[in-house]
Amino acid sequence: MRLKCLFLLLFINSLITYAQKYDCEVLSYDTHISYCGRSVNTDVSYVLQINNAKGTDYAEISILYQEDTPLKNLNAQIEDVFGNVVRKLKNKDIEHTSAYSNVSFHSDHKRASFKMIHTQYPYLLKYSYSTNEDAFIALTHWSPALFQKVPVNKATLQVEVPLETKLHIDAQNIDAGQVRHESDKIIYSWVTDSIIRPEPEWYAPSAKLTCPRVTIVPHQFQYGLTGNTESWLNYGNWVAALNKGQDLLTEEDRNKVHKLTDHLSGDREKVRALYHYLQDNTRYINVSIDFGGLCPYPASYVGKNKYGDCKALSNYMKSLLKEAGIYSIYTDVYAGEYPDPINPDLPSQQFNHVILCVPQPTDTIWLECTSSTMPFNYLGSFTQNRDVLLVEKDSSRLVQTPKLRTADVQETYHHRVSIKEDGNASFISTAHIQGPQFEFLKQLDTHVTASRKTDIMDRFRLIKGTDITNYTLSTPHRDSTFMELSLEGTIQQVLDYVGSKALLKPVNSFHMNLEKPAARLQPVFIPYPMVKIDTFHYALPANISRIAGLKNSTIQEAFGTYQRSYSFEANRLTIIRTLIIHSGYYELEQYEAFYKFISQIHREEQQKTLITFN
């Protein structure tokens, strides 16, 4: 008896000692999927160990589901370290809400939430639930990497399908699964352990590229309409069938199309006129209903209500163009600056956004239909350089959107800095801004009140090391892909005197936050080039005799180029800096070289200039 008590005490002590490492652990995460050919039944169970008060954040459970596929058999309980049940979940403890109430006008995605809090640690939280779906495209998009800073000690996935079922199986960053044949079914299973979702790192790619995951898609599926994923052509036919009949415009819109375009001679100008009409007369709102949000609202609905989501607005624009006799293509895309890559060998729903493609005899026009400020034929950092699905009946296919080139993202600054004898300075700057910074400034100029703009500009530190007192933003016309920026402001103690000499501090120095090589865990992904050209004209309080510390410099590597040159005459000093970082995907093995390249630039940028005056 004493031996048993001693063993129990040692076991509890080991739990508490181990608990110091993590606030919470997922002891097990098990998913079982059964597919009968007509529906998908999913059973999910978790066992969490809450190790301290901080870990109770993970005892606040939130489960997403669809309104037409409610959760079944939702159970949860708290157990102490001895296995005694402390409390069980009651129906009154569960809150059901809209999943996206803050950003959606309407959504059929729901959230079941509950808390299972206990004050004696460690304790176990066990919960499980089931779903049954009659409408589905994939059997599962499964990943055991659930949380950052919370390990998953063991995770299992088991999928049962009828013998003759044809599947696409995409398993990445996980050990090979097991396959077992029984009399009337095939059972696929995966087991993994000690998984933890990587924490965010600077310029890291989508976690989808590095985390373990399994995606299983049947060749035949039922989602609103019967579909097929044997090819992108077949899958595109299904999307086209969903969209069929949604292109009918109101009579008012049909008349408006002809009023706007009949007097224009070229298709390009007709497309531009209708795009401006879309931007000026509709607004984007996230509407997620019907077929899980994959079917667009009819063009007539958007015309009457003047709003829609990406699907509805793209379909509406397509319908306007059709009325004008211009062909366009509904286009599925995964949007975002750091997108999840599309697997070209897995025809299926891998997208989160819709844009419009307008083929022309000599080029292609691309339209982002959700933005009231985006220039005509400009995709920008949100959808550039990635595979997209052109949805056309009997000819759907993957193509790539245009990528942002070096010439498309250039930021060019000219600064005139007048330094007073006390070392403080005033400056006037002008800038020609393209690329992502242009997109930011365009949004700022259009959607932010005048009273907040200066504060945002100052905090954003477009020119680092300064206090901005005044600025102006301008573009030649609404479809310009650049912004002209003028700034006025002050710089405190840019010049520090040392006897008859003075130290000039660097202004607007380039800095790129990066982890040290020993701490880095993920590859580097630069989704578009970075180009910055700075020209500084300093007017100093006295004539210059000699300069030390500053030198002409060139650093050139596969990752990019840095150049700096300077000249001086009388009390004038001119410094020109050019930085180019190439877009690219760099494996973890290349990170040390990339880090060294950036560090060299940092050292050059932080070098103070010692000036001797006459």
| E strands in 219-294 | 220-223, 225-228, 283-284, 286-288
Q: Which of 443, 438, 587 is nearest to 522 (CA)?
A: 587
Name the average pLDDT for the chain.
91
For residues 67 and 71, the model is more confident at 71
CA distance 596 to 614: 39
pLDDT at 290 over 70: no
**8 Å CB contact between 351 and 368:** no
- Angstrom distance (rounded) from CA 306 to CA 354: 18
The confidence score (pLDDT) of residue 9 equals 46
Q: Are 479 and 376 in contact (CB under 8 A)?
A: yes
137 contacts 223 by C-beta, under 8 angstroms: yes
Question: Pick from 169, 210, 172, 189: which is nearest to 348 by CA?
Answer: 169
What pLDDT shows up at residue 11?
45
Per-residue pLDDT at 142: 97
- Quick: pLDDT tens for 108-143: 678 999 999 999 999 999 999 999 999 999 999 999
pLDDT in tens, 401-449: 999 999 999 999 999 999 999 999 999 999 999 999 999 999 888 888 8
State how far the Cα of 419 lies from the Cα of 573, in Å rounded to an integer. Answer: 11
Strand order in the sheet with 140-142: 140-142, 213-218, 167-172
Helix, strand, coil fractions of the chain, as percent rounded to 5: 25, 40, 35
Amino acid 459: pLDDT: 60
So what's the pLDDT on residue 467?
Answer: 82
pLDDT tens per residue across span 320-357:
999 999 999 999 999 999 998 999 999 999 999 999 99
Name the packing angle between helices 310-323 and 251-261 (round to 10°). Answer: 60
SS (H, E, C) 91-160: HHHCEEEECCCCCEEEECEEEEEEECCCCCCCEEEEEEEEEEECCECCCEEECCCCCECCCEEEEEEEEE
Q: Is the pLDDT of residue 208 over 90?
A: no
Mean per-residue pLDDT for 304-325?
97
Decide if 203 contacts 588 (C-beta within 8 A).
no
pLDDT confidence bin for 6, thresholds 50/70/90: very low
User: What's the confidence (pLDDT) of residue 461?
Assistant: 57
Residue 179 has pLDDT above 60, yes or no: yes
